Structure 1
Amino acid sequence: MLVGVDFTSAPSRRKPIRVAVGQRRGAVVKLERQLAIESLDGFEDWLRAAGPWLGGFDLPFGLPRELVETLGWPLAWAPLMAHYESLSRAEIRDTFAAFCDARPVGGKFAHRACDGPAGSSPSMKWVNPPVAYMLHAGVPRLIRAGVHLPGLHPGDPSRVALEAYPGLLAREVLGTRSYKSDDRARQTPERLIARKDLIEALEQGRTRLGLRLKLSHAQRDELADDASGDKLDAVLCLIQAAWADQRPDFGQPAGMDALEGWILCA
């Protein structure tokens, strides 16, 4: 089983964690169902469910080495995550803000090696989007649930979690066109058209991953109609997991920094 997870650090009934579940047959990825998880405890319970599954998760699995070294935090991944979990969100925000304040304009944030190729936000960013809080809420639960994180932390080999980034695949198709917004005032016809164009491209296999998405008519409408883009993002993560399913070591790049982690397909 393959899964794609669009994660939020503060899930609720209004904005749950979205999980796309599917299977790969050759170059075809079939979406079977979508799940909505409304709490972090519910997310951890789901993670503990029996495998086998391989998942792409839209949350950072590591912090920039430059940041960690500057702060004097542990330089091994597991102790670093244990230290990070021990901090409150306020402590994280204040620590990272002080780090940025001490740096020149244009270079406030530290980046992981994978951020540039993926076009992703730095994992220390605490607003717009608050990926630092996503790491804080998500990774400790992956560890506690005994999930295997290749290249970072050993766990149950029948439940494998990889860091995914849906924006990487979306930009390949849409360029700079926006396809989603949580703000109702910005849920425009143009973004609806962009979602439909993205879905069509995925169904036709028009990405460098060489995979085609198989949907029912109802699923296609459901993905297009979700103006937040969360359901579609989960599906993009599912496709990235399907790509990893075909690759030795799940596509892990040579020379990956075992402190920072890596992003699928980047």
Structure 2
Amino acid sequence: MAEQVFQLLGCDFTSAPSRRKPVVLALGHLNRGRVVLETLETFGELAHWQARIQQQGDGPWVGGFDLPFGLPRELVTSLGWPTDWLACLHHYAGLSRSEIRLAFKAFCDGRPAGAKFAHRATDGPAGSSPSMKWVNPPVAFMLHAGVPCLVEAGVSLPGLYAGDPNRVALEAYPGLLARSVLGHASYKSDDKARQTPERLIARRTLIEALESGRVPLLQGAGLRLKLSHAQRDQLADDASGDSLDAVLCLLQASWALHQHNSGHPHWGLPPFDPLEGWIVSA
């Protein structure tokens, strides 16, 4: 039987997209160990991004999405919310952002300094922010805005929600891949005053490592990024890092597809809490 060909998606998400700060979607495919970037698409409105995800014509795809897919179990049980993932999502989606902020702030106010936030099990190995943070970055609102759209689109979230098996969404985190090359050196900023030559050099260093395959995650799967000259310049010149982050999510999706093609039944995901979710490749 011929191996099913999946398109690859990588999504850098924002909970309040605009023309200045859009959602960025990277599209690509695998070709003999090369992750070929086809194009980058931007969406200044959430509804336009959701409509794009709902499209059926692209055929089978697997995507890495830079937004949390679940909340910490400790938080959910403390608030008395449903502990079934889908029921919890529906409850969460029915709240306003101000209601979420008040509930999460009350939870944090009752905890000691240095341990204000509850964490998911995946946060440690991924080095990610707790999914209940409502500022810097407001990932709690990214979950609130994005995950209901994925469920409504009918895609599959492995281990969480059984949707269309030919459209697979995985939680990704570009910082995990970037840090494996740059350590904690910054490569991006939305603040123009902080868009420095040092960050440009860091982006170029990261891109070169991705193209040569000198990244632990890619080396283990025998993968490397394939760019055109124009794409390489585009990624380096985007000082916000949004385009590069979408490509990093695309690469995490390519690793998951490699795991899938190698016979892993869960896209490379380990056993995890079905309320919290897991970041692919963590």
| Fold-level similarity (TM above 0.5) | yes
Q: 2:67 aligns with which of 45, 54, 59?
A: 59
Cα deviation, 1:4-36, whole Å, max 9, x if unaligned, reads 000000011111100110011232101010000
**Whole-angstrom CA distance in 1 between matches of 2:33 and 2:109:** 47
Q: 1:70 aligns with which of 78, 84, 93?
A: 78
Give the structure 2 partner of residue 108 of structure 1: 116
**Whole-angstrom CA distance in 1 between matches of 2:52 and 2:70:** 22
Give the structure 1 partner of residue 11 of structure 2: 5
**Whole-angstrom CA distance in 2 between matches of 1:140 and 1:227:** 30
- Following superposition of structure 1 onto structure 2, how do residues 196-211 of structure 1 map, counting pairs within 5 Å? 196-209=204-217, 210=219, 211=223
Structure 1 residue runs of 4 or more that deviate by more than 6 Å after TM superposition:
none
Q: 1:25 aligns with which of 31, 45, 60?
A: 31
TM-score relative to the length of structure 2: 0.93
**Whole-angstrom CA distance in 2 between matches of 1:4 and 1:226:** 16
Bigger mean CA offset, 47-56 vs 61-70? 47-56
Amino acid at match of 2:182: L
Q: 1:34 aligns with which of 40, 65, 68?
A: 40
1:258 aligns with 2:278: no
**Whole-angstrom CA distance in 2 between matches of 1:224 and 1:261:** 32
Q: 1:48 aligns with which of 54, 78, 82?
A: 54
Give the structure 2 partner of residue 227 of structure 1: 239
Q: 1:98 aligns with which of 75, 91, 106?
A: 106
1:148 aligns with 2:156: yes
Q: Which runs of 5 or more structure 1 residues have no equivalent in the other structure? A: none
**Whole-angstrom CA distance in 2 between matches of 1:54 and 1:242:** 8
* Partner secondary structure for residue 245 of structure 1: helix
TM-score relative to the length of structure 1: 0.99
Amino acid at match of 1:215: L
Q: Which runs of 5 or more structure 2 residues have no equivalent in the other structure? A: 1-6
Q: What is the alpha-carbon root mean square deviation over aligned residues? A: 0.7
